[in-house]
Amino acid sequence: MNSFSYVSAPDLDTALRTIANTEDVKFLAGGTNLVDLMREGIERPGTVVDITRLPLTGIEELPDGGIRVGALVSNSRLAADPVIRTRYPVLARAILLGASAQLRNMATVGGNLLQRTRCLYFYDDVAACNKRTPGSGCDAIGGFSRSSAVLGASEHCIATHPSDMAVALAMLDAVIEVQSLHGTRQIPIAEFHRVPGDTPQIETVLAADELITAVTLPPVPVAANSHYRKVRDRASYAFALVSVAAALAVEGGVVAEVRIALGGVGTKPWRAVEAERVLLGGPATEEAFARAAEAELAAAVGGPQNAFKIELARRTIVATLRQLMVEGNPA
Amino acid sequence: MTTIGQPLDRVDGGVKTTGAAKFSAEHGYPGLTHAVMVHATISRGRITALHTDQASAVPGVVAVLTHLNAPALKPAPKPGTFNFTIWFSGTSVNYLQTDEVHWEGQPIAVVVAETSAAAREAAALVRAEYTVAESAVDFAAAEDGAPPQPNNSYFPRGAKRGDAEAALAAAPVALELRYTTPPYNHNALELHATTAIWDGDQLTIHDPTQSIDWFRTHLALRFGVAMTNVRVLAPFVGGAFGGKFAIWPGTILAALAARATSRPVRLALSREAVYRTVGGRTPSIQRVALGAERDGKLTSLVHTSVTRNGRIGGNFEQVTSASQHLYAAENILARHHVVQLDLLPNTFMRAPGESIGTFALESAIDELAYQLGIDPIELRLRNETAVDPIDGKKKFSHRRLPELYALGAERFGWPERNPEPRSTRDGRWLVGTGVATAFHPALMMPVNVTVRLSADGRVLLRCAFQEMGMGGATAQAQITADALGVPFDAVRVEYGDSTLPMGPAAAASLQTASIAASVIQACEELKQTLKAMARTTGGDSHEEILRQAKVPHVEAVIGSDTRLGRIAGRVRFLPKFIRSSQQWVKAASGVQFCEVRVDADTGETRVSRWVGVFDIGTVVNAKLAASQLRGGIVMGLGMAMAEETLVDPRTGRIMNPSLAEYHVPVHADVPPIDVSFLGDPDPNMPLGIVGAGEVGVTGVAAAVANAVYHATGTRVRDLPITLDKLL
Amino acid sequence: MEIELRINGSAQRLDISPQVSLLDALREYLGLTGTKKGCDQGACGACTVLADGQRINACLALAVQYQGREITTIEGVDHPLQAAFIRTDGFQCGYCTSGQICSAIGMLAEHKDGAPSAATEDLAATSEELDDDEIRERMSGNLCRCGAYNGIVSAIKEVAK
């Protein structure tokens, strides 16, 4: 790890001022990703601003029935929150299926959104990686790419977004609240993460002087019947090969409302809008689920090692919707 | 009262549950410095420039050692018939002595600093330039034309009986199968770490070695000092599994850095550095061909393998070891092929050869059973043998496989199984069961011990063996207590220090039996001494005899620790050992029963039930032996389900040098494992003990693969059995 | 820089660089080597300690960041789990043991507080029984390469009763 200056921000204003006026600076919250990346030499900030003392730790119910979650709420606290567990079970389960209890105790909501890819070549500073060193190439292409993305990839980068929580947030249309000295912005999660294109080093629309302060969950009644299914190589403590966040309401055998997002397959948390479009207003049958999955994955591109994810994603989407049919619509 | 067989608690439980047990990176010394290695990033070539200025400028850096300024180091000795030390050098490279690079990851510099943070920061700043030479790092591409393993004293290139290929061609039923296994790494939780202190020509070294004696000999040789000048301390080893058996660069470079800086040096490897500088298990490509009559009687068994080694040495993987002894085929061919690549060499990893060899063999037997429509246990019983199949003459010292199968089948509920593949379903899960045989040869080594009996009734056993979790001190205390007829609590065991009498290596499942042989001999001598004393002084109990003789203690010394004494010990030991090996096949064996559940949609596989029944001869401590066998099974589950070291065939670089990306089993992967023993002593082993350290891992991957086939109808012949292979 | 940590109930002053992790501060500066390093990247759990009673990975915690928090390491633990681990043989080499014990203490507290896990079928339920599946899932952040998992689960079950 390189040497750096450490600043503990006593309040939001100091934090924002420091980040605006310092070169090579990074916010530090839970540290579960940043400290690891610094130790690997992937991140080399000159200054680290510790924001853990900022008062961004509330979970508040909003008048419209939504929830506002402070950026520094720990993953485990959010997952254990009674309101989240009953109104947004997909979010609680997505968090609980990520990492380990120790890491969830440390990691924050804001940090989770900014988690960086686990691509083996991004993590290895000897390899070529356009995300780490723009213009250096991509050794994952033609290399070990079993975990790589099949949706949203480019010839410059095929790295998967690793977060589970963000997949559930994508399904829920969460809004990311960010602040800088210039004020506050509300960014819908669909617009927050970027696909790599020819600038894979730019992963989000967050500006260099901005801090995530909160995440707002709109009221999503259908989320009461929602589920997060994560498919991975170990029974626990492993990143997703494929994950599906889904919510389903069926009325008279017809899909009245449906939301689907995918993890492990995309270069960003992947809202399956095409699948939703195919399903909405149509029959809630296994065949329809399969057609919807096909439609979403029509654009997927697999290589020799990760093409299985396309079939796996199709099957996992169908299995998750099938489960929601049974659970949410008891015969 | 006898203590042997009782499930006593470990004697080191207290220090291990309070954090008091100190491992090799945990010893403080005044003026201690911290060292970090810098690794080559090419697989073969020469260093043309090393830029160390930036590293040297980091505050706290004491030295940056490279081939340009490191003290001289003697090369690793060449192999010879009686020279075990070549096994002991992980590679033949003489580190920091030349500009040559032999593998991707080879240490090319060592940074020594006042703090570990400064050493790590500085090591990341060392820049190297190279001329790159042509290298071969792609194992799959090297398969064709892989030469046969050269014969040597320890590992013959293969074995045959009859004409297996001809018998295969003539067999009414024949199977020709190809299996592959990926490279594995040990991943002991304790990272390799060495703390080295020179005082003049005296070296004190803390290192988690599995073989204190060979380790000391090797270091003395490399640093040109007398063996007695080297003191090795390894009271606690945080897991090893073969990965701490040979000497790897970190150990040598810690001692070299301490010599160069005249400061105590601690070189604690990062997880990545362990992957880059400590060998793992070779990948394998295996051919198993079986010829059989329609009733299942094997007429031909062919098992050949291709594995890899380093161009710079390494250990041979005896892949067909079990195939030569398990089934009564009249024609057997076992052959090994080894390619030499520009990679970190293969080293010992729990049941080298048998672990991956039994995957192929025991999968193939299952495939034959399905082909013939015979129950897989019944097929094995029809090919059970009274003599060593490969030799046709040698007898088994102790072989009870039919009994093990009967016991295991009952405990597991095997008879209730519907043999039809994909026939059992529980909700979203396809359920399957599988079985496989476990087998691992039993070996011995000469061991020196002293046993001292004091007038206060206390007994002290001293022996420089290693404790890496097997429970050696507990087991030897039980053996000593019973041999002398004293309470278990009266016995104290000193181990893990080279100033103690020469111990065996903690390898090849031989430690417990080898020490037991000498302990029993020592205790017999003590009893004779006491008897003789009692004739003149009188007294009934040990304590009384010694008190009345006014002798504070009596001691029995087995073996001599002088250089000549050790050679004499080996000379006495070897003929007996060789004679016994020519007469008997000695081995631990077992049966592994497995139930898996495979998600019908996603192919996610969970092992839901396990029954293992083992014949390890006398069970010294039922609790600890069961733990060791469970540990082997858990490692086998890792092999079966997820483990794989990813070596990029384009560069030779390991791309997943981390516990995040190399998946060892976690709690949630491991079901309750039912372990039981036959408990019947082996008549030709000391106290009837056969080792338990490795047999547990054998057969596991095959049992899982067989269960997955039963569950899904899909046969996976390429480990690991990841879900993409089941879609 | 000068920092002050509260470890096992007492204040410890240290002069360290901000790079130093809580784990290295414990092991290399305070001589508290009971907390182990197995990966230094949050992938094995050997470094698990309790911060204000919550289990965390000390390897991913910068020491400087944990000023003012009450840190408990294995050296400060006196808990029935320790004897239970010995009885059930919940370890072999002993290297992961400190982390397993600290993690289990944190886990039992989480369960008592009603926190769910990925093994919890009904997330809306306030408390589920701590059965084998729950223990295994909740403890999956602690690797044991010796494979003593069965013994660890038994020890925890014994104490949770």
CA distance B674 to chain C (A): 10
Interface test with A, best of B724, B725, B726, B727 (most A CBs within 10 A): B724
Nearest-angstrom CA–CA distance, B49 and A13 = 49
Q: What is the DSSP letter of B74?
A: P
**Contact call for A92 and C123, based on CB within 8 A:** yes
Question: Which pLDDT band holds residue B518 (cuts at 50, 70, 90)?
Answer: very high
- Chain B residues within an 8 Å CB radius of C45: none
Q: Count of alpha carbons within 13 Å of B363, Cβ hemisphere only?
A: 31
Candidates B362, B467, B644, B694; catalytic one:
B694
Q: Is the pLDDT assigned to residue B663 strictly greater than 70?
A: yes
Percent of chain A with pLDDT over 90: 98
A139 phi/psi in degrees, rounded to 5 = -75, -15
Every domain of chain A with CATH number 3.30.390.50 lies at 225-328
Of the partner residues C118, C137, C141, the one whose CB lies closest to the CB of residue A103: C141
Determine the topology of domain A225-328 in CATH.
Enolase-like; domain 1 (3.30.390)
Q: Is the pLDDT assigned to residue B84 strictly greater than 90?
A: no
Q: What is the pLDDT of residue A331?
A: 45
Q: Is the pLDDT assigned to residue B82 strictly greater than 60?
A: no
**B273-320 pLDDT, tens digit each:** 999 999 999 999 999 999 999 999 999 999 999 999 999 988 889 999
CA B668 to the chain's CA centroid: 25
Annotation says B694 is catalytic: yes
**Which distant-in-sequence residues (6+ apart) come within 8 Å of B321 by Cβ?**
B353, B354, B357, B441
- Chain A residues within an 8 Å CB radius of C60: 30-32, 35-36, 103, 106
**Contact call for B236 and C94, based on CB within 8 A:** yes
Question: Which pLDDT band holds residue B566 (cuts at 50, 70, 90)?
Answer: confident
Of the partner residues C35, C40, C97, the one whose CB lies closest to the CB of residue B17: C97
**Contact call for C19 and A89, based on CB within 8 A:** no
Q: In angstroms, what CA-CA distances link A250 with A285, B429, B519?
A: 10, 26, 75
Q: What is the mean pLDDT of residues A311-329?
A: 92
Q: In angstroms, what CA-CA distances link A285 with A280, A289, A294?
A: 12, 6, 14
**Which distant-in-sequence residues (6+ apart) come within 8 Å of A31 by Cβ?**
A106, C60, C61, C62, C65
Q: What is the mean pLDDT of residues C58-69?
A: 97
Q: What is the pLDDT of residue B571?
A: 87
- Chain A residues within an 8 Å CB radius of B658: 123
Every domain of chain A with CATH number 3.30.43 lies at 5-53
Q: Which chains touch C (3 or more CB pairs under 8 A)?
A: A, B
Q: A97-111, B130-144, B526-540, C50-64: which has the minimum mean pLDDT?
A: B526-540
Q: Which chains touch B (3 or more CB pairs under 8 A)?
A: A, C
**C80-100 pLDDT, tens digit each:** 999 999 999 999 999 999 999
Question: Which pLDDT band holds residue A73 (cuts at 50, 70, 90)?
Answer: very high
B720: preceding bond cis by omega (within 30 degrees): yes
Q: What is the pLDDT of residue B75?
A: 94
Nearest-angstrom CA–CA distance, B183 and B4 = 39
- Chain C residues within an 8 Å CB radius of A30: 60
Q: What is the mean pLDDT of residues B466-491?
A: 97
Q: Is the pLDDT assigned to residue A52 strictly greater than 80?
A: yes
**Which distant-in-sequence residues (6+ apart) come within 8 Å of B392 by Cβ?**
B161
Q: Which chains touch A (3 or more CB pairs under 8 A)?
A: B, C
Closest residue in B to A42 (Cα–Cα):
B124
Question: Which pLDDT band holds residue B643 (cuts at 50, 70, 90)?
Answer: very high
What ipTM was estimated for this complex? 0.98
Coil, helix or strand at residue C112: helix
**Contact call for A235 and B602, based on CB within 8 A:** no
Question: Which pLDDT band holds residue B79 (cuts at 50, 70, 90)?
Answer: low
Of the partner residues C41, C97, C142, the one whose CB lies closest to the CB of residue B658: C41
Computed over every residue of chain B, the mean pLDDT equals: 95
Closest residue in C to B674 (Cα–Cα):
C150
**Contact call for A144 and B646, based on CB within 8 A:** yes
Q: What is the mean pLDDT of residues B255-279?
A: 98
Q: What is the pLDDT of residue C9?
A: 97
Better-scored residue on pLDDT, C126 or B434: B434
Q: Residue A132 CB: number of other CB atoms within 10 A?
A: 23
Domain A5-53, CATH: 3.30.43
Question: Which pLDDT band holds residue B153 (cuts at 50, 70, 90)?
Answer: low
**B664-719 pLDDT, tens digit each:** 999 999 999 999 999 999 999 999 999 999 999 999 999 999 999 999 999 999 99
Query: Bridge-partner residues for A239, per DSSP?
Result: none
Q: What is the DSSP letter of B110?
A: E
Encoding tokens for residue B197?
């202190």
Query: Bridge-partner residues for B66, per DSSP?
Result: B109
Nearest-angstrom CA–CA distance, A96 and C89 = 29
Q: In angstroms, what CA-CA distances link B278 with B252, B343, B659?
A: 12, 11, 15
Q: What is the DSSP string of B665-676?
A: --GGG---EEEE
Written in H, E and C, the secondary structure of A273-327 is HHHHHHHCCCECCHHHHHHHHHHHHCCCCCCCCCCHHHHHHHHHHHHHHHHHHHH
Nearest-angstrom CA–CA distance, B66 and C124 = 61
Q: What is the pLDDT of residue B280?
A: 98
Q: Residue B131 class from Cβ within 10 Å (0-12 exposed, 13-18 middle, 19+ buried)?
A: exposed
Question: Which pLDDT band holds residue B77 (cuts at 50, 70, 90)?
Answer: confident
Q: Side chain identity at B657, as an amino acid letter?
A: P
Q: What is the pLDDT of residue A168?
A: 98
**B393-417 pLDDT, tens digit each:** 999 999 999 999 999 999 999 999 9
Q: What is the mean pLDDT of residues B62-90?
A: 83
- Chain B residues within an 8 Å CB radius of C33: 19, 22-23, 25-26
